[in-house]
Amino acid sequence: MEHTKCLIIGSGPAGYTAAIYASRANLSPIEYCGMQPGGQLTQTTEVENFPGYPQGVDGNQMMMDLREQAERFGTDIRDGEIVKVDFSKTPYICTAEDGTEIEADTVIIATGASAKYLGLDDEQKYNGQGVSACATCDGFFYRKKNVAVVGGGDTACEDALYLAGLATKVYLIVRKPFLRASHVMQQRVKECGNIEILFEHVPVGLFGENGVEGAHLIKRKGEPDEEQVDIAIDGFFLAIGHKPNTDIFREWLDTDETGYLKKVDNTPRTKLPGIFVAGDCADPVYRQAISAAGSGCQAAIEAERYLLNR
């Protein structure tokens, strides 16, 4: 069994930043990159809103830069997942998918969250070519274009309003005959001149030669008056929620009803001493690279202080 002062579970901006800070604090961290090394940004073609990249940067390149920086300071970065944890006593025991067991004095959980998709083949086909699950990240590329947002909750309405400030036309595609969003958000969307709500519409496909050019929808699916509707769009945004990657921790740590890990006193600390959280696995609100990176820094500093005080 291996032993480390600090084990970081997950990569992405939160995990890699935690690794940079933990390494510079001489904690000699081990980091497991998880099922998606680099996190959600590896599915984004260009990142323009992260400080330090005035011309923008490819999401994969940015994650490679962060990984290289963490390795420069001595982080032991490993591909693969942590599939089991035992937080019943310290040092905590975490098991990797290859069977490796690691004793860790501190653990930083930065496993992120995964956007929910509809399950259409075309979502993968056009990923990075018009399909996105982050309006804030990618909306800038659709200025003066037509886009669609799928969803009927507060997040979908917020995304539609955000995109309405950039795009010429925004379709809000809602499966039900009503919005689930709060009354205030519903009013804002309905009063916005360039948002058209398509109630009782279900996306069934996308089309386009060199990227998304339109979407196939079914109106009133399963009803006698069912009909197919095609809309011309350049961007297709999913806003049907995220699933935090926290299943293996739920036995040990508190989560909200969706599964996001709960922080103590708005810090990276959890209810268990020496276990800290960073990034989207504990952030249902902001979900941005820069806020994830900041929380990774905080988690590493907390881990260092915990070890010093102990």
- Determine the longest span between alpha carbons in the chain, in angstroms: 69
Residue type, 303: A
Annotated active-site residue 138? The verdict is: yes
Tokens at 14, concatenated: 């939160």
Question: What are the two backbone dihedrals, phi and then psi, of residue 134, each rounded to the nearest 5 degrees?
Answer: -145, 100
Contact 265, 237 (CB under 8 A): no
Q: What are the C-alpha distances in Å from 4 to residues 47, 69, 81?
A: 33, 20, 17
Q: Which of the following is catalytic: 6, 105, 122, 138?
A: 138
Q: Which of the following is catalytic: 134, 157, 281, 297?
A: 134
Annotated active-site residue 137? The verdict is: yes
Count CA atoms within 13 Å of residue 217 on its CB side. 23
Residue 219 DSSP one-character state: E
Residue type, 211: G
Name, in order, each residue with C-beta under 8 angstroms of 19's C-beta and a sequence gap of 6 or more: 8, 29, 31, 70, 73, 75, 77, 296, 300
Q: Which of the following is catalytic: 94, 137, 157, 297?
A: 137
Q: How far apart are CA 203 and CA 228, in angstroms?
A: 10
Within 10 Å of residue 256's Cβ, how many Cβ atoms?
Answer: 11
Annotated active-site residue 134? The verdict is: yes
The residues annotated as belonging to the active site are 134, 137-138
